[in-house]
């Protein structure tokens, strides 16, 4: 597998419009996938490989990526169901790790809204993929983790509505 192979698989599940790179580099150890870049050097190699092959592009601001939806769709179709489930569960763990503390006493703390807004679009995309795929069967632990992230996201959406 190339340096960027696992990275593009994860990127294929995220919101394609804007992917802030800190999402991919802040907690790489939570992404338990062979080949996912676990260091800054490994991430730079994977990113450079994907940029050179035009699979990703830089976003409007620095430290942002853009992935065309056709690239995402082709990457998802190329994955076998078992691999899609592995990558999906790894993405769920990543967003669970990155999601700010959502204790009831802190749910209305506006100071964390900036980070949450950046994460919310990707959580929404994972939810859309999960809802549209009848074959995608998550492990019990991933289902519980995903439900917790969706619950935390729903509290925010309800509060802002």
Tens-place pLDDT, residues 15-66: 998 899 999 999 999 999 999 999 999 999 999 999 999 999 998 888 999 9
User: Can you spell out the DSSP letters for 86-112?
Assistant: HHHHHHHHHHHHHSPP--GGGTT-GGG
Using alpha carbons, select from 85, 83, 67, 94 the residue that is nearest to residue 149.
Answer: 94
Q: For residue 109, is pLDDT > 80? A: no
Q: Which residues pair with 66 in a beta bridge?
A: 57
Helix (H/G/I), strand (E/B), else coil: 19: strand
Which residues of 11-53 form beta strands (DSSP E)?
19-20
Contacts with 35 (C-beta within 8 Å, 6 or more apart), sequence order: 1, 3, 5, 6, 7
Whole-model pTM over 0.85:
yes
Residue found by looking up tokens 């992917």 in the block: 19
Q: For residue 153, is pLDDT > 90? A: no
Calpha distance 80→99 (Å, rounded): 28
pLDDT one-digit tens code per residue, 66-108: 999 999 999 999 999 999 999 999 999 999 999 887 566 655 6
Number of other CB atoms surrounding residue 40 within 10 Å: 10
State phi, psi for 60 to the nearest 5 degrees: -70, -30
Q: For residue 160, is pLDDT > 60? A: no
* Token pair in block for residue 143: 């289902």
Name the range with the highest mean pLDDT among 86-95, 129-138, 143-152: 86-95
Using alpha carbons, select from 46, 126, 143 the residue that is nearest to residue 91.
Answer: 126
* Token pair in block for residue 49: 């490989």
Helix (H/G/I), strand (E/B), else coil: 150: helix
pLDDT band at 110 (very low <50, low <70, confident <90, very high): low
The dihedral through the CA atoms of 130, 47, 44, 80 has a sign that is positive
């Amino acid at each position: 597998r190339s340096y960027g192979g696992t990275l593009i698989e994860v990127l294929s599940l995220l919101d394609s419009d804007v992917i802030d790179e800190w999402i991919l580099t802040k907690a790489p150890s939570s992404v338990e996938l062979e080949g996912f870049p676990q260091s800054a050097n490994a991430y730079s190699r994977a990113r450079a490989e994907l940029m050179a092959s035009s699979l990703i592009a830089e976003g409007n601001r620095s430290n942002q990526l853009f992935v065309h939806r056709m690239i995402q769709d082709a990457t998802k179709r190329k994955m076998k169901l078992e691999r899609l489930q592995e990558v999906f569960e790894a993405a769920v763990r990543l967003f669970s790790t990155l999601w700010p503390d959502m204790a009831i006493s802190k749910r209305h703390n506006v100071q964390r809204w900036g980070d949450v807004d950046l994460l919310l679009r990707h959580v929404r995309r994972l939810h859309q993929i999960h809802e549209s795929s009848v074959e995608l069967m998550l492990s019990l632990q991933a289902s519980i983790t995903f439900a917790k992230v969706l619950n935390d996201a729903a509290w925010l959406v309800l509060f802002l509505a």
